[in-house]
């Protein structure tokens, strides 16, 4: 019987969903949303905070500040509340309302950036805001998930070893690319283990992480408008880019089978299925990492009006729609 004293002590790390019956390809989906923060970001948040404490950067009276599209913000809000720190999350207009309310409920402050930077990206504008804020007051401690090695080290020490234990003959691993902490931690672990595992990064169309052209992205989580500093492409064997309508279709397909996952998970699953369809290797052992669950997306990905306003009436067929399908 698990007994904990702080919320970050609990995380279910050994749950997988077999997606073969849903998508027709053998793929095991590692579910990372079963903790009090609701996403894989709990691991990176805990490691970055503890490293900052060990280094003496974070001490009583400090104010944590971080740029986040949502999930890391919730994780840091939870940890800050449990440790007695103040936390300020810098997000943008794509952050889900439910996510903002969760941070509020945990006692954090949320600042929403409403205008993109000169290159048309919100991430650059968020980072610029954080830099100005930190320069104005030494109490602010920016963890900087995009350049902080503790981000990938968290997954090197937890996520990757858990996958290796569960699948000793793993052939290919699909990892979504946001800050690239999960991607780099897993890729480094399997490279140093000298295990022949192909690492496939899944990115969103419109992201510049792997050199793609910047474009509008409305689903928070994966993809960036500023290349993350911790990314080292030499560890990545392949990159798959996913259009947002394909992310939405994957989410709804999963939901029609009883699995309510978030947008990042829909992107990873869609990208994995594209890759598996292109590589006709039926005996592959394949795993994909699902970063989050779907409750925070009920007002967006699973809401008919939001979908149709952004992507048109035909983004989902009537047989695919799970949102509002009983409406008269």
How long is the chain? Answer: 328
Q: What are φ and ψ of residue 149, in 5° steps?
A: -65, -20
Question: Measuring CA to CA, which residue among 107, 104, 111, 117 is closest to residue 89?
Answer: 111
- DSSP letter string over 84-122? T-EEEEEEETTS-HHHHHHHHHTT-EEEEE-S--TTS-H
Model pLDDT for residues 11-63, shown as the tens digit of each residue: 999 999 999 999 999 999 999 999 999 999 999 999 999 999 999 999 999 99
DSSP 176: E
8 A C-beta contact, residue 79 and residue 48: no
For residues 91-112, give the mean pLDDT.
Answer: 93
User: For position 281, what pLDDT does the model report?
Assistant: 85
- DSSP letter string over 250-290? HHHHHHHTT--B-HHHHHHHHHHHHHHHHS--TT--EEEEE
pTM of the model: 0.93
Model pLDDT for residues 172-201, shown as the tens digit of each residue: 999 999 999 999 999 999 999 887 899 999
Q: Do domains 7-35+149-311 and 41-142 have the same CATH topology?
A: yes
Residue 11 three-state SS: strand
Query: How far from chain centre, in Å, is Cα 73?
Result: 11
Measured distance CA(185)–CA(77) in Å, rounded:
23
- For residue 200, what are the contacts with CB-CB under 8 A and spacing of at least 6? 172, 173, 174, 175, 236, 237, 238, 239, 240, 271, 272, 275
Res. 320 pLDDT band, cuts 50 70 90: low
Which tokens is 213 given?
A: 């052209």
Class of the CATH-defined domain 7-35+149-311: alpha beta
For residues 284-309, give the mean pLDDT.
Answer: 94
194 CB burial (10 A radius; 0-12, 13-18, 19+) = exposed
Q: Sign (positive/negative) of CA torsion 238, 244, 249, 250?
A: positive
First-residue to last-residue Cα distance in the chain: 47
User: For position 224, what pLDDT does the model report?
Assistant: 83
User: For position 324, what pLDDT does the model report?
Assistant: 39
Of residues 16 and 125, more confidence is placed in 16
List the domain boundaries for the chain. Answer: 7-35+149-311, 41-142
Instruction: Give the pairing type, strands 16-18 and 28-31.
Output: antiparallel
Class of the CATH-defined domain 41-142: alpha beta
């Amino acid at each position: 019987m698990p007994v904990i004293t702080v919320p970050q002590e609990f995380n279910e790390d050994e749950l997988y969903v077999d997606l073969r019956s849903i998508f027709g390809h053998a793929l095991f989906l590692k579910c990372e949303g079963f903790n009090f923060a609701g996403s894989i970001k709990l691991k990176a948040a805990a490691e970055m905070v503890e490293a900052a404490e060990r280094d003496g950067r974070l001490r009583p009276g400090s104010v944590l500040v971080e740029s986040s599209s949502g999930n890391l913000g919730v994780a840091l809000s939870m940890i800050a509340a449990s440790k007695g720190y103040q936390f300020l999350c810098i997000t943008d207009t794509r952050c889900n309302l439910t996510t903002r309310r969760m941070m509020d409920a945990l006692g954090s402050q949320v600042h929403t950036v409403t205008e993109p930077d000169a290159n048309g990206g919100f991430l650059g504008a968020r980072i610029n805001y954080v830099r100005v804020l930190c320069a104005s007051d030494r109490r602010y401690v920016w963890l900087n998930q995009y350049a902080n090695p503790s981000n990938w080290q968290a997954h090197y020490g937890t996520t990757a070893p858990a996958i290796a234990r569960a699948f000793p003959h793993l052939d290919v691993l699909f990892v979504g690319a946001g800050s690239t902490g999960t991607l780099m931690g897993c890729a480094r672990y399997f490279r140093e283990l000298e295990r022949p595992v192909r690492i496939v990064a899944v990115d969103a169309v419109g992201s510049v992480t792997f050199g793609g052209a910047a474009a509008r992205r409305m689903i928070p989580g994966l993809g960036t408008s500023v290349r993350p500093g911790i990314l080292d492409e030499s560890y990545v064997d392949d990159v798959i880019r996913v259009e947002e309508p394909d992310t939405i279709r994957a989410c709804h397909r999963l939901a029609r089978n009883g699995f309510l996952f978030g947008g990042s998970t829909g992107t990873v699953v869609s990208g994995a299925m594209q890759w598996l369809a292109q590589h006709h290797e039926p005996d592959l052992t394949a795993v994909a990492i699902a970063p989050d669950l779907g409750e925070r997306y009920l007002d967006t990905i699973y809401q008919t009006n939001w979908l149709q306003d952004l992507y048109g009436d035909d983004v989902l067929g009537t047989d695919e729609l799970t949102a509002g399908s009983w409406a008269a």
